[in-house]
Structure 1
């Protein structure tokens, strides 16, 4: 028996017929009357279609005209995106539950167009001057269980979306709607952790075939992880670290073939960086040999150098065993190469910006290694890198100190931060973003090198510091500023993540060592 045409095919045929006949939707909705009329007609078309579908379930020709009319009314609501001031009216008139009830429609074209309309209503360009009304619409969607419905769309289209355009479009608009909601109200990301969306995204990003929805899925996954700590922890339960590393590992021998694959790889790294920030992920990164892969990518893949170093920075922060693993994985070679300014073409503005970002990650990693590695072989290997070739890397260290100090107006100008006063903490936070964080990390590196007791490095540090017009007590000044704002002003919060008692004791010890030195 010959297979009949699907509902989607018939709907497409009717839509083309409407286009040929010049049938147009509502151009705009400027008042309550027009919005109420469209919603009333939409509900009427929905009920008519449901009745015909129930009456003629095996005969699409009988209900397809009603489906075309229904789809036309859905699309009429697109024009509301030009009038976001009327979103509260849409909510009051129960337009949100009406639209959401159509997401589960048997015809994927209807599902696609509902997600398209909702995503356009929340598009950033459409609502930039009406953020309050847009947030109200997001809240109404969440109250009406939109996350669960979007989860259903992804599950429903997961089989056919790589073959059928309708399913692919439905997935794309679903992801767009999710992204727009999170942009407007980041708390929406928290609602995702209890759904299967994270699992679906992980499965989608590990697929071998490159396409736009795989790339978009990787972007949404990164956004969900960057926005929510709960999602970071949930992804660990789903073996997400292993999935992300396996997807990245596919590029060890082959570079991304086009800009879409480059974006996909960048999103994978962003997702991994987000996961690496939480304490619970550190063991998983060690078991999955993440440091080995990151070092390989830094050595062999130019496009992956910066994001791989960024992953290492987040992973090594406050984690002694990953610092040890980084040294074991031979990460010091590329690390110090980048520290000396090698490996980046600075010909373009983008390359120069990447070089600065790489420099900041390198500084942070070196500070973590010297702070977290226990006395012994691995720490000595780091110290040896600074001592080799007549301590040339100390020249680079003080050069960077001068760059960041000069950017902030000089170390002397920062001493005012040690004087308590109104606005001091706010000024400190502003300065951190302006370069003070890197200068403090450089102070930690210098203090740790000095406290190592290696006479050749101590003499070189004093000599180069004096060449640039600085004194060794400037290191102590920076450490004291850090101690004041991280510990003394936090009071009972000083035991929070990253400010544990051991770190506080280490910093106090370094301050004492530097104070004991007399220029």
Structure 2
């Protein structure tokens, strides 16, 4: 009679074994755990033991592969060798207790072995290999920088990264241990990227990780579309980490080509009517998606997709809808700042004005917002004047806003300049004092690093970035309208300042101070 398999049996048949045979493997593993613990967890770990264990696992893999090929139609004939292989792989996690022997393990073929195990037809074996790699790369493992560098180099040479991502794509998160393996794989990839920043680019170029993560982020979880599972949140976090590499813009471009902008907008849309629980996966997911979106819309093609997918409309609803998540209100403004930024942001700027957002933006500005919100608002104002053409209705509407109610917004803008300029002067005074105390024996490299720290301090603590955006807007307003120019001069005089305080900042901006800082940072790296 033809045997009838249940859904549970089907999962195991994908790996070549039935449910009953899988239970037998579990029984063997349990006996190993209960009766042979001392042999699996050696008290003395040396090079000989490492080589012996890796060689033993290799032999078990070869034996299993031969039996699988020979008895492909009869899984019961290779079940025992598969159980032996599973046990051999799992005992390799002792390696994390001896990071100083990683070079020995690599020489014995650990990296190549892991790459093959990750591609094993039985996902249980692949999951066991993930456990081993996760234990070796755990950030809590005590290791030297050289040891970890050698391990990463070995894993890279053996193409373990592509193997990890390929295995990730086939894991069934409805199965508990595969769901855990999915999480552990993301953890491994994150640890690798944090240990060596160049692996962000390698990971994106050599694997389909961006495709896999974008797809996982859009996947609906079991309970509902609004229930954010841990792995979904982690996928968004890893994607954010990878695309944030500004030194490799191709990663973000790859994400854009995968409809990344549309994916992020779809993921953020539910937060129009949803408040995530504080410190939850849901809240982290929201932040991660906004991080990715900010990076994508900073690029020209990302801006185009943002417009095509009606991103301005969604940001408008997130900022103005009373039911929208509080974090979403703040982050939506940040997205618009990035989308409108640079000379390619003109179309987005026009769309923002056409969406009727000026009323909300200026109302927020007049409430004396927190520093980060103020920075985004000033960025938008500067972008409006930088990219909207003279005579365009949208530019005229922005200009008229500053003239409303007897120049109330203009008074506020000058007040921001006064405040930021005073802070800048305080920080500059501290920097001058620090430079006077700088040791004369500093080398050229040390002096450059010292000066870089001072510049960054001025940009951050001194609010130079916000001051530049504020003053470039004041300069545009003065150039566009004679009456506004006179009013700005009068307001500066009231604060015992002259136009020179604005001109100084604009000149610094025009000479590319920000580019100098970025260049210095890249040289320092």
Say which of 186, 210, 217 aligns to 1:175: 186
What does 1:55-454 align with in structure 2 at a 5 Å threshold?
Answer: 56-57=71-72, 63-126=78-141, 130-157=144-171, 160-161=172-173, 163-191=174-202, 192-193=204-205, 195-209=207-221, 210-227=228-245, 228-256=248-276, 259-300=280-321, 301=324, 302-318=326-342, 319-341=345-367, 355-376=370-391, 377-410=393-426, 423=448, 426=452, 427-434=454-461, 435-454=463-482
Tell me the CA shift for residue 442 of structure 1.
1.5
Preserved contact between residue 42 and residue 74 of structure 1 (Cα < 8 Å): yes
Partners of 1:385 and 1:320 lie apart in 2 by 19
| Residue 241 of structure 1: how far off its partner (Å) | 1.7
Task: Tell me if structure 2 keeps the 8 A contact 1:202–1:243.
Answer: yes
Do the aligned partners of 1:7 and 1:107 also contact (CA within 8 Å) in 2? no
Question: How far apart are 1:57 and its partner, in Å?
Answer: 4.3
Q: How far off is 1:444 after superposition?
A: 0.7
- For 1:181 and 1:71, the matched residues in 2 are separated by 25
Q: Deviations over 1:293-350 (max 9, x none)?
A: 11111112222012211211111111111111111122223322332347x7xxxxxx
Question: Structure 1's 78 and 433: CA in aligned 2 closer, same or farther, altered over 3 A?
Answer: farther
Alpha-carbon shift at residue 84 of structure 1 (Å): 2.6
Q: How does 1:507-518 map to 2 (within 5 A)?
A: none
Instruction: Report the Cα distance in structure 2 between the residues aligned to 1:197 and 1:340, rounded to whole angstroms.
Output: 44
TM-fit CA distance, 1:111 = 0.9
Deviates more, 1:316-325 or 1:463-472: 463-472
| Residues 274-307 of structure 1: CA deviation (Å, up to 9, x unaligned) | 1112222222222111111111111122220122
Matched residues in 1 for 2:431 and 2:490: separation?
23
Once the two structures are overlaid, the 10-residue window that deviates more, 5-14 or 218-227, is 5-14
Deviation at 1:475, TM superposition (A): 0.6
- Please report how far the alpha carbon of residue 61 of structure 1 lies from its aligned counterpart in structure 2 after TM superposition: 5.4
> In the alignment, what sits opposite 2:488?
461
Q: CA deviation at 1:151?
A: 2.9
RMSD: 3.1
Deviation (angstroms), 1:5: 1.2
**Distance between the aligned counterparts of 2:20 and 2:206, measured in 1?**
34
Equivalents in 2 of 1:393, 1:28: separation in Å? Answer: 73
Deviation at 1:252, TM superposition (A): 2.3
Contact between 2:269 and 2:314, CA under 8 Å: does it hold in 1? yes
1:116 deviation in Å? Answer: 2.3
TM-score by length of 2: 0.81
**Contact 1:35–1:90 at 8 Å: present in 2 too?**
yes
Instruction: Determine the C-alpha separation between the residues in 2 that align with 1:357 and 1:436.
Output: 13
Q: Report the 3-state secondary structure (helix = DSSP H, G, I; strand = E; otherwise coil) of the residue aligned with 2:141.
A: helix
Q: Structure 1 residues 411, 133: closer, same or farther in 2, change over 3 A? A: closer
| d(CA) in 2 for partners of 1:380, 1:335 | 16
Measured after TM superposition, the shift of residue 17 of structure 1 is: 3.6
Measured in 1, the distance between the counterparts of 2:497 and 2:482 equals 21
Residues 193/333 of structure 1: CA separation in 2 closer, same or farther (3 Å cut)? farther
| CA contact 1:367–1:442 (8 Å) conserved in 2 | yes
Cα separation, partners in 2 of 1:217 and 1:432, compared to 1, 3 Å: same
Displacement after TM superposition at 1:480 (Å): 1.7
Q: Secondary structure at the match of 1:102?
A: helix
Quick one: distance in 1 between partners of 2:218 and 2:22? 29
Cα distance change on mapping 1:95 and 1:19 into 2, 3 Å = closer
- Matched residues in 1 for 2:73 and 2:489: separation? 88
Residues 153 and 170, structure 1, Cα contact 8 Å, conserved in 2: no
3-state DSSP class of the match of 1:125?
coil
Could you tell me which residue of structure 1 aligns to residue 440 of structure 2?
A: none
- Give the aligned partner of residue 503 of structure 1: none
CA–CA separation in structure 2 for the residues paired with 1:119 and 1:173: 6
Aligned partners of 1:30, 1:407: CA distance in 2, in Å?
59
Q: Which residue in 2 is equivalent to 1:516?
A: none
Shift of 1:485: 3.8
Could you tell me which residue of structure 1 aligns to residue 225 of structure 2?
A: none
Kept in 2: contact 1:297–1:304 (CA 8 A): yes
- 1:19 positional shift: 3.4
SS in 2 for 1:337: helix
Greater mean alpha carbon deviation, residues 106-115 or residues 55-64: 55-64
3-state SS of paired residue (1:250): helix
In 2: Cα distance, 1:412 partner to 1:91 partner? 52
CA displacement at 1:45 relative to structure 2: 2.7
Cα distance, 1:103 vs structure 2: 0.7
Residue 374 of structure 1 aligns to a residue whose secondary structure is coil
Distance in 1, matches of 2:501 and 2:361, equals 26
Deviation at 1:137, TM superposition (A): 1.6
